[in-house]
Every structure is written in C-alpha cells, then in structure tokens.
C-alpha cells in the first residue's frame, strides 16, 4: 500500500475534527442545522488554514444521505465519495489553471441541470481571485440568479483582488492563522496516534515553523520524521529547519546589554561555525527584544511565551534600559531588511550589532569601553542651520568645573572600587546600604530589579567585597521599598543636574545667542561632557 502523507491522512472529515476556526464552524453549523442556507460562500485566509477542508465538509453536510445537518454520517456512499474526491456533484475547480472566460462558460453551462446523485450540485472554486475579468462577469450572472439546487463555495488567499460585485453576493468567512500552541497540540496528537517517538521542544519548533498553517506544519512533520529516521528529536529538527539554540541569542543580547564588544564578536564567531541564517538570527533577536520590552511593562507576561526562559527575559528586562530595548529593536528591524544587500552576511550581521553599541545613548549605565578622544580646551563653535533646527555637538558643554559635585554615599564609593561588571554591578547600583557592622553588610534591593538577583550574582558581589576588604564578608539581601538614594538613582540625578547646568551655560553664552538671532536657529539637544572625556 502506498504511503499517504500526514496532511492528507489527517485532513478533518467533520466540523468537530477541525482545529481552530471556531467562529466559522459555529456559523456554518447553525446555518445547516436551521436550514438557512445561502447560495454562495466565500472562504478567505492564508494557505493551509482549512479553506478547502471546510468547503468539503460543508459539501458533505449538504449531500449526506441521512439529511442536511452539521454532522454528516461519513458512512453513506455520498460521504465516502466526497472524502475520496470522486463525488460527481462536487465540482472542484482550480481557478489558477482555468482563468480563461471560455473555461468559466463551459463550467457554468451545466449549472441549470439537476444534480446526478446528490441533493445539491456544489461548485468549489479554489483561488477564485485568479479568474480573469471576463470570467468574473460570466460567473456574476449565475451568482445573481442561481438555481435552487446549486451552491457555490469560493476560496481565496487574496480577497482584495475580487470584484466588489462578487463579494456582495457571497457570505464571507475569514479564516485566521492558527496559534502555535494549537498546531503543536494537534501535531502531538498525530504523533501519539502514529506511535512516533518525539520531543516536545522539537514539536514546538515545527509548529512555529508552520507559521500559522496546519498543512505546512504537517508537511514539515513528515519531513522531520524522515530526517530523523522515524523519530522527531530537537537536534535533528533544528538542523533540518536551520534554526539555532535560543540560548545563543540570549547570550548575544547579554553581551550587548553589557556593551561588551569583544564578547559580542565572540558570540558571532561561535554562531558562524554553525553556518546560520543570519536573517533568522536577527528575527530571533527581535522576538527576544519584544518579550523583554513587554516584561518591562508587565513582568507577569514573561512566563507566557514558551520560546524563551522567563528568568532570562526578566533578567534582561532589569539590565537593559527601556530606551535601549527600543533602539536595539529598531536597528535589528532595519538590519534584517538590509541584510540581503550586504556583500558579506556575517559582516553585515556584525555591523548591525556594532551599530547597537555605537548608537546606544550616552546616558546608558554600561557605556562601550573605548579610549576617550582628546577634546579641545576651548568651547568650539556650534553647528547651526537656518531656519531648521540647530543640533549642538556633544563637545559643546559647560566647563566641568562649573558643574557642582554631588556627595557620594559610602556604598556608591565602595561599588566603584569593587570592579564589578555586568549584572552584578547593576544589582549593586540598585541597592541601598541599610546596615553595616564591620564586615557584615545588609542591602535593600529595589523590587523592580529583584529578578536580576540570583545566587551567582550574590556570590560575585560577596567575593568582590572580600577581595577589596581582604577579609571574610557576610552579605544579606532584602527586597523592598528603598527609602535611601541608591547609587543608580544618584547617578541619574547627577546626570540631570549636569544637563541642566550645561543647558543654562549654553543658553547664556553670547556667541550662541548671537547665532540664534542671526540664523533664526534654535538649540535641539545639549549633552554635557562626561568625566572620562575631560
């Protein structure tokens, strides 16, 4: 016996077997059970979501020998012939291959004749948008005044191409893309019934690759079974799909969050050994950034996505500033669009990541490590335009001596001497020193950064303190409302004061005022010099 592919073997035979599309099923079952039947139905939606399957079930419901109902018996000769594709009164037409008006007229010549076997003569026209204008005109006349024994079932992936005259004469049903979770559930059931060993993560990867199409997912499942010699395993499926381990994407974003350029390039080198699809890697990075952005607004949503570890999402949400996430997302989005234009895909991918580091706001807590360029001691002339907005370069600022120094807390001074980096430093910056007795420290951490606090982070901070103090340290963390000013908040306030002072200095500068009057310009942005740039 010849092998039957899963997409055909597991095609639903009744409305109850359908996965998803509950809104369409409900409308059709009510129409059938109440005998309120329109003469023309239009099913729209992307490929593989069930348009022709629903149409065949509907045709079976109309012609079942037990009577018109939403539950055809599936045993009578009409049901079995429709399932086998040989029912004489179900005329299936592929409009993509019969676009000429002559084909349509020939098809419609027999509309007036009564059905040979069934109760209704059903015309199922797939990809109906491919018909020519003359073919639509020929079909329109029949749709306006159809015989009572004829039903038209039209299916299309592009309803915008249908004339409004056709649309207005049909009941329209828009089929939705199927959720990944629903596809995965269906695939698991297929594998269990077929007795094929499988791994859950592998099935989820196939469901995601189906991109909302059950037929595509079943075709990929067939391919995975053959690729894995009768087993569906994560390693084989990842190799077949060309996907990468999402932990690599997490590690890449962690390196970006720490502004660690060497670590970013090391991650790219390791990825390159796997010969990845760099556009797909950027797509995974976009998905992760979207989850991080969502978790920053609603932390509880981190556990709703099965593609990424919630702990990773929450940790990154605490490390990255919201504006950095948005910037990285925009750069990755544009980079994915432009990647095919790059002469070298790896080089193009690296440039996208380096762009994230270079254009990260100067106020970010983890600036890119690079030697400070030399600056002139005098105030340079700003660039202005008239009448457009004038943008003042970063070098335009008040002299450093004019910015008042803010007193540093004991904990702030201590953090700068510990040499902490990455997540450990971020945790320390968002803590306040509640109590210190000799080498016993009690810290209070802000609640919105509690997700970053892990055992490894605690140990890194404790070891740094021990190394600095040259003696054993006892470290206790608590999470709650921080009344004292944390180092992170102190830095933000200090930066705000520097900006305000710089702005006042620029506004009062007679040279700036003269240029504003002369060129009708205005100041767009002001950035004070960082201490490292002085």
* Residues 6 or more apart whose Cβ sits within 8 Å of residue 437: none
Q: From CA 234, how far away is CA 232, in angstroms rounded?
A: 7
- Structural domain containing residue 43: 6-174
pLDDT of residue 367: 40
What CATH number did the domain enclosing 262 receive? 1.20.272.10
Same domain, 45 and 167: yes
Q: Is residue 517 part of a domain?
A: no
- Contact predicate 175/47, CB 8 Å: no
Structure tokens at 257: 């969050």
Which parts of the chain sit beneath pLDDT 70? 1, 99, 302-308, 362-408, 524-534
CA-based angle 273:278:283, to the nearest 5? Answer: 130
Burial category of 22 from C-beta neighbours within 10 Å (exposed 0-12, middle 13-18, buried 19 and up): exposed
Residue 133 in any domain: the answer is: yes
Q: Which of 492, 505, 489, 488 is nearest to 401 (CA)?
A: 505
Assigned token pair, 61 = 């419901």
Backbone angles phi, psi at 156, to 5 degrees: -155, 150
* Residues facing residue 443 across a β-bridge: 433, 477
For residue 90, CA distances in Å to 55, 117, 153 come to: 10, 10, 10
Distance CA 402, CA 25 (A): 73
Please compute Rg for the chain using Cα positions.
Answer: 33
**Max CA-CA distance within the chain?**
100
**Residue 45: C-alpha distances to residues 48, 83, 336 (Å):** 8, 22, 27
- Distance between CA atoms of 189 and 213, rounded to whole angstroms? 17
Q: Which two tokens stand for residue 122?
A: 């059903």
Q: What is the enclosing helix (H) or strand (E) of 389?
A: none
- Residues pairing with 90 in the sheet: 122
Provide, for the chain, the percentages of residues in helix, strand and coil under a 3-state DSSP scheme, each rounded to the nearest 5. Answer: 55, 10, 35
Strand, coil or helix: 91: strand
pLDDT at 513: 78
Residues 156 and 227 in one domain: no
The residue out of 215, 241, 267 marking a domain boundary is: 241
Whether omega for the bond prior to residue 387 falls within 30 degrees of 0, making it cis, is yes
Same domain flag for 224 and 287: no
With CA atoms as reference, report the closest residue to 213 among 47, 19, 367, 10: 47
Give per-residue pLDDT as tens, 225-280.
Answer: 999 889 999 888 888 887 777 888 999 999 999 989 999 999 999 888 888 889 88
Domain boundary among 326, 341, 358: 358
Residue labelled with tokens 């179900």? 90
Q: What is the dihedral of CA 520, 523, 524, 527, to 10 degrees?
A: 160
* 268-to-274, 346, 349, 455 alpha-carbon distances in Å: 10, 8, 8, 28
Cα angle, residue 247 at apex, residues 322 and 262 outer, rounded to 5°: 70
Residue 304 in domain? yes
Residues 235 and 252 in one domain: no
Burial of 298 (0-12, 13-18, 19+ CB in 10 A): exposed
pLDDT of amino acid 396: 37
Which single residue is written with the structure tokens 């509950």?
22
Q: So what's the pLDDT on residue 505? A: 80
Q: How many domains does the chain have?
A: 4
In this structure, is residue 370 part of a structural domain?
A: no
Please say which residue of 209, 226, 241 terminates a domain. Answer: 241
Q: What is the CATH number of the domain that holds 237?
A: 1.10.8.60
The CATH number assigned to the domain holding 422 equals 3.30.300.150
Which domain CATH number covers 168? 3.40.50.300
- pLDDT score of 421: 82
Q: Who contacts 9 (Cβ-Cβ below 8 Å, separation ≥6)? A: none
Pairing of strands 150-156, 40-44: parallel
For residue 510, how many other CB atoms are within 10 A of its CB? Answer: 7
Structure tokens at 13: 């035979």
CA pair distance 118, 87, nearest whole angstrom = 9
Q: CB neighbours of 465 closer than 8 A, spacing ≥ 6?
A: 414, 418, 439, 441, 473, 475
Residue located via tokens 């830095």: 491
Count CA atoms within 13 Å of residue 498 on its CB side: 20
Cα–Cα dist 76/81, whole Å: 9
Same domain, 169 and 47: yes
Question: What's the pLDDT at 303?
Answer: 62
């Amino acid at each position: 016996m010849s092998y039957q592919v899963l997409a055909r073997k597991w095609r639903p035979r009744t409305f109850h077997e359908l996965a998803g599309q509950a809104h369409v099923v409900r409308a059709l079952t009510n129409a059938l059970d109440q005998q309120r039947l329109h003469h023309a139905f239009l099913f729209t939606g992307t490929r593989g979501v069930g348009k022709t399957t629903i149409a065949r079930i509907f045709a079976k419901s109309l012609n079942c020998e037990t009577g018109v109902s939403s539950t055809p018996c599936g045993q009578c000769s009409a049901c079995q012939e429709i399932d086998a594709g040989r029912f004489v009164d179900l005329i299936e037409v592929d409009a993509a291959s019969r676009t000429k008006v002559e084909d349509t007229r020939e098809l419609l010549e027999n509309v007036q004749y009564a059905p040979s076997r069934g109760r209704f003569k059903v015309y199922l026209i797939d990809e109906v948008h491919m018909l020519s204008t003359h073919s639509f005109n020929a079909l329109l006349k029949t749709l306006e005044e159809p015989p009572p024994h004829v039903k038209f079932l039209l299916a299309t992936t592009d309803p915008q191409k249908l004339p409004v005259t056709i649309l207005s004469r049909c009941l329209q049903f828009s089929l939705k893309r199927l959720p990944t979770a629903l596809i995965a559930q269906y695939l698991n059931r297929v594998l269990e019934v077929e007795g094929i060993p499988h791994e859950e993560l592998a099935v989820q990867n196939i469901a995601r690759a189906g991109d909302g199409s059950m037929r595509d997912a079943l075709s990929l499942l067939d391919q995975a079974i053959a690729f894995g010699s009768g087993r569906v395993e994560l390693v084989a499926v990842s190799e077949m799909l060309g996907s990468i381990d999402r932990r690599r994407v997490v590690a890449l974003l962690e390196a970006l969050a720490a502004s660690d350029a060497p670590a970013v390039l090391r991650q790219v080198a390791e990825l390159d050994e796997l010969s990845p699809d760099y556009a797909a890697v950027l797509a995974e990075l976009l998905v992760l950034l979207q989850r991080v952005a969502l978790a920053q607004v609603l932390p509880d949503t981190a556990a709703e996505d099965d593609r990424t570890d919630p702990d990773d999402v929450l940790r990154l949400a605490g490390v990255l500033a919201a504006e950095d996430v948005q910037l990285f997302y925009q750069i990755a989005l544009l980079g994915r669009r432009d990647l095919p234009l790059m002469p070298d895909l790896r080089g193009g991918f690296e440039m996208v990541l380096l762009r994230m580091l270079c254009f990260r706001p100067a106020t970010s807590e983890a600036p890119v490590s690079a030697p400070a360029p030399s600056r002139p001691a005098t105030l340079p002339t700003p660039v202005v335009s008239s009448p457009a907005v004038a943008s003042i370069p970063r070098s335009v600022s008040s002299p450093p001596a004019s910015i008042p120094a803010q007193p540093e807390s004991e904990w702030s001074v201590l953090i700068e001497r510990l040499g902490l980096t990455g997540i450990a430093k971020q945790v320390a910056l968002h803590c306040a020193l509640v109590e210190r007795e000799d080498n016993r420290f009690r810290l209070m951490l802000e609640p919105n950064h509690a997700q970053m606090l892990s055992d490894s982070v605690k140990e890194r901070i404790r070891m740094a303190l021990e190394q600095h103090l040259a003696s054993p340290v006892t470290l206790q963390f608590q999470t709650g409302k921080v009344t004292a000013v944390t180092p992170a908040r102190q830095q933000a306030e200090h930066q705000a004061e520097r900006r305000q002072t710089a702005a006042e200095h620029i506004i009062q500068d007679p040279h700036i005022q003269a240029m504003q009057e002369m060129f009708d310009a205005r100041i767009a942005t002001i950035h004070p010099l960082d201490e490292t740039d002085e």
